């Protein structure tokens, strides 16, 4: 009886030492030795300060930075997950429409395009369409820009209320899109990359497609903020696009998907090479 008990205790001790001590130590040593960055969480540092992880997106919202994909988890790594909204779910359509409405613009080849403030051309048309439907054309059209700017100053992080003119492009964009009377304008809208408006399965995807990064919705906005007074804006835009391309990669050595770029790394490179004026 004692010999069996001693053998079982020795086996238990041996198992604990091997599985709970030796195995983790060996795996840690191999990981730190062969894959030091990945083993420590793929952290991105700058001047000795941790700026984030290559694996987790951050909520960049300022105009001078490239924006990540939307996140159903609020970019919270402890709450990783998707919204699970299907393509025909009204909630998803409303969220996407509210995001696109205030930023959508016409193609540069369109007769509706205005080069100085391209995004306001579509917004103004949406407001005019809504005003015509509601019988308040002059009032809505004349006050739209002032209301939008005032609201942004007072509520930089808030959602636009229904009572302001600035809310119209966000709340009525899809209705404007579906109106047959607007089809000539809709046909001239600049396409929007899916990953710019659709959240990832984890809600933490740190990458965006290169197509998204160099689109008019990202590149134009960032370059405009990064161009010093008197500098060649087109040259700055081209240089930022080249930077994005240089940092891009295609998964599995180019075998799967389209080129991607890490948003955190791209924005950090932006600050180094194209500091704000």
Burial class (CB in 10 A: 0-12, 13-18, 19+), 174: middle
Query: Which among 174, 180, 187 has a CA at the least distance from the CA of 109?
Result: 187
Taking the CA of residue 166 as centre, how many other CA atoms within 13 Å lie in the half-sphere pointing to its CB? 15
CB 141 within 8 Å of CB 124:
yes
**190's tokens:** 């600049």
pLDDT, one tens digit for every residue, the chain (277 residues) = 677 788 888 888 889 888 988 898 888 888 777 777 677 777 888 888 888 888 899 999 999 999 999 998 889 888 888 888 888 888 888 889 889 998 999 998 888 887 777 777 898 888 888 888 877 666 665 655 565 566 566 655 555 555 556 678 888 899 999 999 999 999 999 999 999 999 888 989 999 999 999 999 999 999 999 999 989 989 999 999 999 999 999 988 777 889 999 999 999 999 999 999 8
Predicted structure pTM score = 0.77
Query: Which among 155, 128, 276, 263 has a CA at the least distance from the CA of 209?
Result: 263
CB 221 within 8 Å of CB 267:
no
Query: Which among 193, 190, 189, 223 has a CA at the least distance from the CA of 208?
Result: 193
The residues spanned by each domain of the chain are 59-273
């Amino acid at each position: 009886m004692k010999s069996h008990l001693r053998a079982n205790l020795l086996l238990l001790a041996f198992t604990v030492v091997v599985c709970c001590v030796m195995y983790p130590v060996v795996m840690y040593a191999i990981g730190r030795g062969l894959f030091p960055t990945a083993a420590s969480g793929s952290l991105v540092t700058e001047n000795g300060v941790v700026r984030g992880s290559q694996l987790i997106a951050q909520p960049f919202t300022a105009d001078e930075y490239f924006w990540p994909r939307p996140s159903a988890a609020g970019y919270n790594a402890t709450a990783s997950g998707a919204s699970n909204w299907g393509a025909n779910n009204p909630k998803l359509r409303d969220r996407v429409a509210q995001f696109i409405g205030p930023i959508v613009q016409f193609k540069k080849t369109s007769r509706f395009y205005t080069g100085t403030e391209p995004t306001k051309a579509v917004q103004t048309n949406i407001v005019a369409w809504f005003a015509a439907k509601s019988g308040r054309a002059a009032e809505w059209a004349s006050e739209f820009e002032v209301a939008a700017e005032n609201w942004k100053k007072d509520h930089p992080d808030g959602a636009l209320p229904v009572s302001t003119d600035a809310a119209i492009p966000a709340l009525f964009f899809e209705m404007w899109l579906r109106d047959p009377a607007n089809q000539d304008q809709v046909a001239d809208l600049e396409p929007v990359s899916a990953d710019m408006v659709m959240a990832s399965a984890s809600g933490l995807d740190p990458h965006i497609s290169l197509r998204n990064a160099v689109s008019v919705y990202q590149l134009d906005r960032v370059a405009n903020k990064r161009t010093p007074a008197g500098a060649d804006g087109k040259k700055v835009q081209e240089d930022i696009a080249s930077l994005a391309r240089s940092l891009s990669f295609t998964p599995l050595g180019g075998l799967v998907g389209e080129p991607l770029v890490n948003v955190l790394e791209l924005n950090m490179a932006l600050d180094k090479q194209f500091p704000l004026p």
